[in-house]
C-alpha cells in the first residue's frame, strides 16, 4: 500500500496510548502543550522514496515538493535531502527554501500575481525556473531581467481545460480559471518572447489540474494535451521545448471511504500516457516535472488536542469541545473536509459513544469532525486527528486572537520542536499605538 493510501503515519502504533515515531503522543501533549502539530519524519522520507522508485523507469523525471502544502525549514531540509526540488509561490517560500539550504537552481517560482519585489528576490537568490502565468508577468519579468543583465529560464503555465473531480475551490486546470494562459493565447505570448522579451529563455510548459485527485484518467488527458501542444509549438514556431511540468494533485486518505490512487498507479498513468503521446505526435521525450505536495506531507502529520467541555442535546447530538479548531485547521469549514481521529490516551477502551468534535472558536461552523465514534471522553483526554500535515499549519490563522500551535518532528523515539508555539507577546509584536492615542 502506498503511504498516501494510509490514514495514519507509517510509524503509528497502539500501545494502549497512541505512539508515533516511537513517541507517546500523550507525553508529547504533556511536554509541548496542545493544540500540537506532530510530523513523522519516517513517513515523509518513505513517500519521497516511493515517488522516486515509482517514476524510476522514466529517465528524465524531476521531483518538486509543492511548498504551499507545508513550508518550514525542517520540512524543506528533509525533502531536499531526499532529492526533491521545490515549487514555490511567494517570496516567503523562496526565502525559506534559501535559508533551509536548498539548491536554488532546483526551485520553481509559480503563481498568478508575482510582485516586482518577489521577482527581484527570486532572481537575486538564483531561482532556477519561473512559471510565467500571464502577459503582465512576462513583460515585468523581462524588464527586471534586462535591468539585472540576466537571462531567465521560464515555463509557460497553461490551462489545459480539464475539470477533474475534486472540490471547486481546488480545481485549477479548467478553462474558467484564474491561473495560466488559455491555449488560444499561446501563440501570442511565444511571439512576444521570440521578438520582444529577449531575456526570457522559454524551456517548456506547465499545467496543474487540481488537488486531492482520485482518478488517474485526468493525468492521461493532461499529458495528451500538453504533448500535443509541444508538437504544435514545434511545428508553428520551430521551437523544441525540453520540459513539461504536469503539476501535482494526487489525493490522500482522510477517511476509510477515501480511495486515492497509489503513487505507482499515478506513475504508470503518467509514463504510459507520455510514451503513447510521444509516439503519436513524434516529439522528443521531454523532461517531466511533477509537483506533489499534499501526498508528500499530509499523512505524516497529526494534530493533538485536549478535551474540554461537552454538551448533550437530548435526541440530537453530543458536542465535545477541543482546545483548537478552525484557526489551526480551516479545511472542514472551507471545503467540508472530513477527518478521522482517535482518543490517544484510550486506544483500547471498548465503551464507545457517538460525538461531534467541536472547536473552540466563535463560529457555529467550527466543527472538526461530525458524528464520530470514540471512547467516552472526559476533560483532559487527548484527541489525535490524523492526516493534518497538509494545509493545516499553512492555512492557520490567529482568529479570536489565539496563538498558533507549535510543531514537533518525531523520529526514532526522539521529538524536536521545529516551530515554536506563539506567545501572547508574539500576537502584539508588530503592533503600535500612535502617539496621538496615548
Give the full edge-to-edge strand order of the sheet including 23-24. Answer: 13-15, 17-20, 23-24
Residue 281 burial (10 A CB sphere; 0-12, 13-18, 19+): middle
In DSSP terms, which residues pair with 367 in a beta bridge?
Answer: 358
Cα separation of 29 and 19, whole Å?
12
Q: What are the beta bridge partners of residue 158?
A: 181
The residue from 48, 67, 71, 362 that is catalytic is: 362
Contacts of 416 by beta carbon, 8 Å cutoff, 6+ apart: 74, 408, 409, 410
Which residue matches cell numbers 507509517? 10
Which residues in 390-426 are b (16+ Cβ under 10 Å) and which e? Answer: bbbbbebeebeebebbbbbbbbeeebeebbebbeeee
DSSP 143-188: HHHHHHT--EEEEEEEE-----SS-GGGB-SSSS-SSSEEGGGHHH
Residue 384 is given by DSSP the state E
3-state secondary structure of 400: helix
Radius of gyration for the alpha carbons in the chain, expressed in angstroms and rounded: 23
- CA end-to-end span of the chain: 63
- The number of C-alpha atoms within 13 Å of 360 and in the hemisphere containing its C-beta is 18
Residue 23 catalytic?
no
Strands 243-245 and 61-66: unpaired
Q: Which residues pair with 213 in a beta bridge?
A: 250
| Catalytic positions | 362
Amino acid at each position: 500500500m502506498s503511504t498516501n493510501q494510509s490514514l495514519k503515519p507509517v510509524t503509528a502504533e497502539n500501545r494502549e496510548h497512541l505512539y508515533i515515531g516511537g513517541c507517546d503522543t500523550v507525553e508529547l501533549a504533556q511536554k509541548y502543550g496542545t493544540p500540537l502539530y506532530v510530523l513523522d519524519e519516517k513517513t515523509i522520507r518513505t513517500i519521497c522514496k516511493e515517488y522516486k522508485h515509482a517514476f524510476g523507469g522514466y529517465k528524465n523525471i524531476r521531483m518538486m515538493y509543492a511548498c504551499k502544502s507545508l513550508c518550514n525549514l525542517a520540512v524543506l531540509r528533509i525533502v531536499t535531502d531526499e532529492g526533491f526540488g521545490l515549487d514555490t509561490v511567494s517570496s516567503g517560500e523562496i526565502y525559506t527554501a534559501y535559508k533551509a539550504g536548498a539548491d536554488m537552481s532546483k526551485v520553481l517560482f509559480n503563481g498568478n500575481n508575482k510582485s516586482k519585489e518577489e521577482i527581484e528576490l527570486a532572481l537575486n537568490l538564483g531561482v532556477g525556473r519561473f512559471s510565467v502565468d500571464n502577459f503582465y508577468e512576462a513583460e515585468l519579468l523581462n524588464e527586471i531581467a534586462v535591468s539585472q543583465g540576466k537571462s531567465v529560464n521560464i515555463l509557460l503555465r497553461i490551462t489545459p481545460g480539464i475539470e477533474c473531480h475534486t472540490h471547486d475551490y481546488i480545481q485549477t486546470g479548467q478553462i474558467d480559471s484564474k491561473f495560466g494562459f488559455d491555449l488560444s493565447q499561446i501563440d501570442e505570448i511565444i511571439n512576444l518572447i521570440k521578438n520582444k522579451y529577449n531575456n526570457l529563455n522559454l524551456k517548456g510548459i506547465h499545467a496543474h489540474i487540481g488537488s486531492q485527485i482520485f482518478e488517474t484518467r485526468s493525468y492521461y488527458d493532461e499529458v495528451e494535451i500538453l504533448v500535443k501542444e509541444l508538437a504544435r509549438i514545434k511545428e508553428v514556431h520551430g521551437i523544441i521545448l525540453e520540459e513539461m511540468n504536469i503539476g501535482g494533485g494526487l489525493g490522500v486518505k482522510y477517511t476509510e471511504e477515501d480511495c486515492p490512487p497509489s503513487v505507482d498507479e499515478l506513475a504508470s498513468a503518467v509514463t504510459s500516457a507520455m510514451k503513447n503521446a510521444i509516439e503519436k505526435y513524434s516529439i522528443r521525450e521531454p523532461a517531466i516535472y511533477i509537483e506533489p505536495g499534499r501526498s508528500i506531507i499530509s499523512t505524516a502529520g497529526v494534530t493533538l488536542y485536549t478535551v474540554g467541555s461537552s454538551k448533550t442535546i437530548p435526541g440530537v447530538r453530543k458536542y465535545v469541545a477541543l482546545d483548537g479548531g478552525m484557526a489551526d485547521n480551516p479545511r472542514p469549514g472551507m471545503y467540508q473536509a472530513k477527518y478521522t481521529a482517535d482518543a490517544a490516551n484510550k486506544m483500547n477502551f471498548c465503551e464507545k459513544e457517538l460525538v461531534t468534535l467541536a472547536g473552540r472558536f466563535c463560529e457555529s461552523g467550527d466543527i472538526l469532525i461530525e458524528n464520530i465514534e470514540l471512547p467516552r471522553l472526559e476533560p483532559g483526554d487527548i484527541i489525535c486527528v490524523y492526516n493534518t500535515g497538509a494545509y493545516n499549519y499553512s492555512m492557520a490563522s490567529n482568529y479570536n486572537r489565539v496563538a498558533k500551535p507549535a510543531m514537533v518532528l518525531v523520529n526514532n523515539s526522539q521529538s524536536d520542536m521545529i516551530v515554536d508555539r506563539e506567545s501572547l507577546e508574539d500576537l502584539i509584536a508588530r503592533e503600535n499605538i500612535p502617539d496621538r492615542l496615548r
